[in-house]
Amino acid sequence: MPHEEKRAWILGICAIASYAVYVVLILGRAGGRPLAEVPYIAPMLGTIGASIAAAIVASILAAMISRDGGKDQRDREIGRFGEYVGHSFVVIGAVAALLLAMAEAPYFWIANAVHLAFTLSAILGSIARIFAYRRGFQPW
């Protein structure tokens, strides 16, 4: 398995795990009150930071273990393809956050729309890369 495919797996798993932990924390803190009243900033920043740190450490460990060559042209094209897929969800999230702001929704919902968009971007970008490595990649 190429190192870049391993990185895609690592990033996807870290994104899923961190968002799941965030959701559990927020729902646990709700305690019957509306979600918009739950303190969300510390859990959001904590899970995002932990996800970034875990992905960096896991990527370094995978690079130390694998010892395969650097990126070739195919790896760069697959990476670019995954980024294109992922960026579409960032745009969708930005539009959702804009609409929520225009509707004067609570900050909780705006922040969570952006957080979900970035998480989906990471997950779906990783899935696109993994499928490109596993099923073959035909650049256009």
Residue type, 106: P
Element (H, E) at 52: helix 41-66
Local mean pLDDT, 10-residue blocks, the chain (140 residues):
85 96 95 91 96 94 78 80 87 94 96 95 92 75
Query: Quick one: tokens of 18?
Result: 């961190």
| CA dihedral for 20, 26, 31, 34, sign (positive or negative) | negative
Residue type, 57: V
Please give the pLDDT value at position 140: 56
Question: Tokens 């969708």 correspond to what residue?
Answer: 92
Please give the pLDDT value at position 97: 95
Residue type, 6: K
